[in-house]
Amino acid sequence: MAIFTGAALALLTPMNEDGSVNYQEMEKIVNDQIEAGTDAIVVCGTTGEASTMTHEEHIETIAACVQMVKGRIPVIAGTGSNSTDTAVYLSKEAQKKGADGLLLVSPYYNKATQNGLKRHFTEVAKNVDLPILLYNIQGRTGVNIKPQTIAELVKEVDNIVGVKEASGDLSQVATIMSLTDGEIDLYSGNDDQIVPIVALGGKGVISVLSHVAPKDTHDMVIKLIEGDVKASGELQIKYIPLIHALFSEVNPIPVKAAMNMMGYHVGTLRLPLTEMEEENKKVLRQAMLDVGITLA
């Protein structure tokens, strides 16, 4: 059984003025998302600025999220690293803290070979009992997890169950589905490709858009799974301008600006990320208004 079907929120990490994690605001976001129909929470992923967290903060944030969710929906912890030993450590700690699954980004900077990727993911998987989603995002990591590698890992390692596909390559997604005979939990990692990926057999999306449009992001997936292709497609098209605005600067810069515009207090970003440019912020604000999002 899939960890979730539908839309998972790729949760941002709210920050206080001093740069520490704002757990009070995180709990508000989590509760609002669950109430709006979000199907799972991914904590400490790319959107959560995990790459600038200490190991202690990383583990504390995962534990806090699990406690906030209280078992209402699955919590998937981002525990990937370019160091295999670190990924093993974070994954074991996330399991101890009660995470329901893990999201493992491919090692960044090292640019491992496909064989190196297989050994890395297998080593992490054998140290935990949780279901694992691979995270393929070459634009961040410098290396593509090839379809054959993904298929082999899913077939050979019991608790590697799927992949968050953010390559942007629909042909690659189709190839993955073909090589696995559809026996894989595949999620879109790009909000502008939710409908085509679910149409190819995907289980849903791990979404940034869900921060500002949780119900419609959930509905976009579920309506298609239930056979309402027209309604699902209309939602995808409706949100394309906003999705483009949410990625007009590197994630999570725009989504933090968007949440602050909505009246949340998610704070600033940790360097080297900086505040959104005013011109891009104006475009984002207008795109949110155009789809009926209420701003503070």
Report, as residue numbers or ranges, the catalytic residues.
135, 164
Beta strands in the chain (DSSP E): 6-10, 40-43, 75-78, 101-105, 132-136, 160-165, 185-188, 204-207
Dihedral angle, C-alpha 124, 138, 205, 265, nearest 10 °: 90
CA neighbor of 253 nearest in space, from 91, 23, 46, 24: 46
What is the phi-psi region of residue 111: left when phi exceeds 0, alpha when psi lies from -120 to 50, beta otherwise? left
Pairing of strands 101-105, 75-78: parallel
Give the C-alpha separation, 60 to 93, whole Å. 10
Degrees to nearest 5, angle at CA 184 with 181 and 189? 125
